[in-house]
Amino acid sequence: MADGDDPLKEIFATGALLLVVGAIIGGVIGAVELGQSSAATAIIAWAAAAVGFGISLAYFMADARKGEEPAAELPFPSWLRTDSDTVR
């Protein structure tokens, strides 16, 4: 595993993508059911698609926030830094 790979970020990203695909499939099933005059089934499929899409957005937001954590340490020791490195 590379240094930048975080298993939790991978889980959030993969889960969100799977939920988006499920939401698309649910939307299509709802449209087909509505075309076959089954409004109740269409509404259930669309509701499931909307919930899945909402959860995927929450996963994507959690994945984005996970990457915003500041670096814990500097790339080189402080005794090697010059005054111009600390002024930025």
pLDDT digits (tens, 9 = 90+) for 45-55: 999 999 999 99
Q: Does residue 59 sit within a domain?
A: yes
pLDDT digits (tens, 9 = 90+) for 32-73: 999 998 999 999 999 999 999 999 999 988 888 766 665 556
- Residue 88 within any structural domain of the chain: no
57 closest CA partner among 26, 12, 25, 8: 12
In a domain, residue 47? The reply is yes
Confirm whether 45 is domain-assigned.
yes
- What residues make up the domain containing 47? 28-64
User: Is residue 86 in some structural domain?
Assistant: no
Total domain count, the chain? 1
Full-model pTM: 0.66
Q: How many CA atoms lie within 13 A of 75 on its CB side?
A: 2
